[in-house]
Amino acid sequence: MKPRELPADPMIRSLIAQAKSSQLNRRALLSGAGAGATALALAACSTGGSAKPTAAADTSDSDKTLNWANWAAYIDEDDAGNYPTLDAFTKETGIKVNYDVAVDDNNSYYGKVKDQLALGQDIGADTVCLTDWMVARWIRFGYTQPLDLANIPNSKNLTPSLQDVDFDPGRKMSLPWQGGFAGICWNKEKVPGGLASVADLWDPSLKGRVGVLSEMRDTMGLIMLEQGVDISGDWGDDEFSAAIDELQKQVSSGQVRNIKGNAYLEDLKSEDTLAAICWSGDITVINAEAGDKWEFALPTDGGTLWNDNFLIPIGSPRKANAEKLINYYYEPEVAAEVAAWVNYITPVVGAKEAAAAIDPELADNQLIFPDETTLSKAHVFRTLSGAEEQKYQAEFQAILLGA
- What's the pLDDT at 46? 56
Q: Give tens-digit pLDDT for 303-355.
A: 999 999 999 999 999 999 999 999 999 999 999 999 988 889 999 999 999 99
pLDDT band at 285 (very low <50, low <70, confident <90, very high): confident
pLDDT band at 90 (very low <50, low <70, confident <90, very high): very high
Residues of the chain above pLDDT 90, percent: 70
Q: Evaluate if residue 4 carries a pLDDT over 80.
A: no
- What's the pLDDT at 334? 98
| Stronger pLDDT, 47 or 168, i.e. the higher one | 168
Domain ranges of the chain: 35-179+307-369, 180-304+385-402
In this prediction, residues 363-376 reach a mean pLDDT of: 91
CB 118 within 8 A of CB 48: yes
pLDDT band at 288 (very low <50, low <70, confident <90, very high): confident
- What's the pLDDT at 359? 84
pTM score of the predicted model: 0.80
- What's the pLDDT at 47? 53
Q: Evaluate if residue 271 carries a pLDDT over 90.
A: yes
Q: Residue 310: which of 141, 64, 131 has the closest Cα?
A: 131
Q: Evaluate if residue 168 carries a pLDDT over 80.
A: yes
Burial 188-217 (b: 16+ CB within 10 A, else e): eeebeeebeebebbbeeebeebbbbbbbbb
- Do 180-304+385-402 and 35-179+307-369 fall under one CATH topology? yes
Give the C-alpha distances (Å, rounded to integers) separating 58 from 90, 93, 117. Answer: 19, 17, 16
Q: Distance (Å, rounded) from C-alpha 197 to C-alpha 304?
A: 13
**Yes or no: domain 180-304+385-402 corresponds to CATH 2.40.160.20:** no
Q: Distance (Å, rounded) from C-alpha 362 to C-alpha 41?
A: 37
How would you classify residue 158: left for phi > 0, otherwise alpha for psi between -120 and 50, otherwise beta? beta
Give the domain 35-179+307-369 fold.
D-Maltodextrin-Binding Protein; domain 2 (3.40.190)
- What's the pLDDT at 233? 93
Q: Give tens-digit pLDDT for 117-152.
A: 999 999 999 999 999 999 999 999 999 999 999 999
Q: Evaluate if residue 207 carries a pLDDT over 70.
A: yes
Residues of the chain above pLDDT 70, percent: 87
Backbone angles phi, psi at 377, to 5 degrees: -90, -5
